[in-house]
Amino acid sequence: MNGKLVIRVGGGYMVIEEFIANYADQELARCKFVEANQIIENNESNNERRNSGNLKKGGSPRGSPRPGSGNGGHRSSIANK
């Protein structure tokens, strides 16, 4: 429109200067929020990947039984009746 950049907003248009004045703070806050959540999600998934290969089922990373597992972390082949 007349050589000016306009943005579609709702059912009408707004020149870019007016759009920035009205929405810049909201958009910046939203972008920071999204970025922070992505960083948190990436850290959590990296931690999960890092930890998923460390533990064997029923033991510690070095193969020792878990504390308090009763029978030393080993399953008995004798059924308890």
Q: Return the structure tokens found at 49.
A: 């990947």
Higher pLDDT, 46 or 56: 46
Count of the separate structural domains present in the chain: 1
Instruction: For the chain, count helices (H), then strands (E).
Output: 1, 2
**Residue 74 covered by a domain:** no
**Residue 40 covered by a domain:** yes
**Residue 44 covered by a domain:** yes
**Residue 63 covered by a domain:** no
**Residue 46 covered by a domain:** yes
Return the amino acid letter for 7: I
Give tens-digit pLDDT for 2-29. Answer: 889 999 999 999 999 999 999 999 999 9
- Residues of the domain holding 27: 23-50
Planar angle of CA 28, 32, 35, nearest 5 degrees: 135
Residue 53 main-chain phi, psi, to 5 deg: -90, -5
Angstrom distance (rounded) from CA 12 to CA 67 = 67
- Whether this model's pTM surpasses 0.85: no
Which is nearest to 15 in space by CA: 26, 27, 25, 2?
2
**Residue 18 covered by a domain:** no
What dihedral do alpha carbons 3, 11, 9, 22 form, nearest 10°? 100
**Residue 8 covered by a domain:** no
